[in-house]
Amino acid sequence: MKKLICIALGATVLAGCNSTPEKPVSAQLVSQPEAVEVQREVVASAPKAVAVTPEPKAVVAEPVKAAVATAASAEVFVAPAATAVPVVSAQAQAMDPRMDKIVKLINTSSGAKQVMSSDNPVAHEYHAQAKALYDQALHATDKDEASRLLNESVKTMYNAIRSASRESVMAEKHETDYRKLKRSVDTFMEQHERISDEKGTGSEGSALRAQINTVVAEADKAFAAKKYDKAQLLLRESFEMLRNSIESMREGETLVRSLNFATKKDEYDYELERYQSQLVLVDVLLQDKRASSAYVAKQVDKYIVVAEESRGKAEAAAAGGDYVSAIEHLESARKQIVRALRTGGIYVPG
């Protein structure tokens, strides 16, 4: 299925106007070079290979947690303070030659540093358990028991590293996706300003760019607060508003942009995301207007109620597999959102 939109073909063809910004994909976990090297040394001298257990055993050591109260009475995890690195005696080293290597893995390796700097409480729970197991091995009086405890300690430490790595990689991926999308918005801002000057749109173009700056600033705040979905929605809608405005300014020229969807469900998903993005704009751009004008607040709320009713019909139709009707309901819902924005004095292209 295709959606065709006529846009501009001037002396310069707009870069990036023929596609929507790429959506983020699931991050792939990366390895920890130094920690892996330590693992190789540990495994090389271990009595036997040991499978990694998927979950920590609470009976070995109690999870280490701390919480502080916020204004909303929510619990915020605070990483435990660093403890002194155990000293490996000659007697302990004689019990198992891996003692000195494993103490580095747990306390000073790059993986250990990553765990200690992580905000993930699960990683810290595993780390505390790995330390407790190592301490038991360090004071064991039987070689077999020392070896068993060291094996458990290594397994648990790698669970800690994996937990911290997953969080770190996802944070890096969010950062990459956000910066990429923001560059697209910045590029379109520059193109919009240039084409506005060419077409002499004056205050209308300037007003839109001012609105976009407000939305982007709100997206930055959301991203800093780790509200990644909201930040992405705001940037995507900024991108779409700029692109639609550019298309409108170039109306009547010959370049055609196609939105290709493999299925009606894909098209429905796209329309639902656009609706959600525009609904967020109402909160961002009309907050002050609704607070200062009872009339504007009443009119905006009226449009939002109708839009949400249409959204509900769309979701019900989609649940029954009728994506054609669902798309029509979403298009109706988006029209109500546009009316709400325009009621508040917000310029919406198209």
Convert the pLDDT of each residue in 226-279 to its tens digit. 888 888 888 988 888 888 888 777 764 434 445 678 899 999 998 898 888 888
Residues 6+ apart with CB under 8 A from 337: 275, 278, 279, 281, 282, 303, 304, 307
Stated length of the chain: 350
Average pLDDT over residues 70-76: 38
The pLDDT of residue 36 is 44
Is 85 in a helix, a strand, or coil?
A: coil
The pLDDT of residue 7 is 36
The pLDDT of residue 130 is 93
The pLDDT of residue 172 is 76
Q: What is the DSSP letter of 81?
A: P
The pLDDT of residue 168 is 66
Other residues' Cβ atoms within 10 Å of the Cβ of residue 299: 16
Alpha helices in 293-345, H assignment, sequence order:
294-319, 323-343
Among 230, 236, 113, CA closest to 182 = 236
Domain boundaries, the chain: 51-170, 262-350
The pLDDT of residue 301 is 92
The pLDDT of residue 258 is 54
- The answer to whether the beta carbons of residues 48 and 293 sit under 8 Å apart is no
pLDDT tens digit sequence for 80-112: 555 567 788 888 888 888 988 999 999 999 888
The pLDDT of residue 167 is 66
> pTM for the full model?
0.43
Among 133, 134, 125, CA closest to 103 = 134
Beta bridge partners of 3: 259
Among 154, 149, 152, CA closest to 138 = 149
Phi-psi region of 252 (alpha: psi -120 to 50; beta: other; left: phi over 0): left
pLDDT tens digit sequence for 194-212: 888 877 776 778 888 888 9
Place of tokens 């915020």: 76
pLDDT(337) > 70 = yes
The pLDDT of residue 259 is 64
What's the CA gap between 174 and 194, in Å, rounded? 31
Per the model's pLDDT, the better-predicted residue between 127 and 16 turns out to be 127
Q: What is the DSSP letter of 98?
A: T
- The answer to whether the beta carbons of residues 133 and 61 sit under 8 Å apart is yes
Per the model's pLDDT, the better-predicted residue between 242 and 69 turns out to be 242
Backbone angles phi, psi at 77, to 5 degrees: -75, 135
Among 45, 39, 162, CA closest to 105 = 39
Per the model's pLDDT, the better-predicted residue between 116 and 50 turns out to be 116
Average pLDDT over residues 55-80: 41
